[in-house]
Amino acid sequence: MGCRFASALALLLVPALAVATPYDGTYRQSANSECLLVGADGGSLKIDDGIFYGVEMECRMTRPVTVVSMDATLYTMRCSGSDQIWTERAMVMKDAEVEGGIIMIWDGYAFRYSRCDEPAE
């Protein structure tokens, strides 16, 4: 419990403003993903107000840099999950082939996510 508290406290102390990104939305991890199940295996991923919610982890998307001549943004990701805190760089871009989709690139890995339909109100 002490580690989880320390992780949460550390994230609170990181100076980052929650700001909407052009990539805000909920995305399928795979074609059969459950969109209402955010952050779990077989579920979806979410970007909301500058926070990326992945599988059992979340990352504050800080220090955005627009990539020249591309519809993409490079972020410093300040992440926590499984009682760990780490920082990595990731690039997010709009998918040119899938409307509303994104491509997310981490060092050595690229992922394509299609957007979940918005729930009817």
What are the residue boundaries of the structural domains of the chain, listed by start?
2-113
Burial (Cβ within 10 Å: 0-12, 13-18, ≥19) of residue 117: exposed
62-100 residue pLDDT tens? 999 999 999 899 999 999 998 999 999 999 999 999 889
Task: Quote the mean pLDDT of the chain.
Answer: 85
Cα angle value 27/57/46 (rounded, 5°):
20
**With 50 as the cut, is the pLDDT of residue 5 above it?**
no
Which is nearest to 92 in space by CA: 118, 61, 116, 117?
61
> What is the band of 19 on the pLDDT scale with cuts at 50, 70, 90?
low
31-47 residue pLDDT tens? 889 999 998 888 999 99
Could you tell me where the DSSP H helices lie in the chain?
2-13
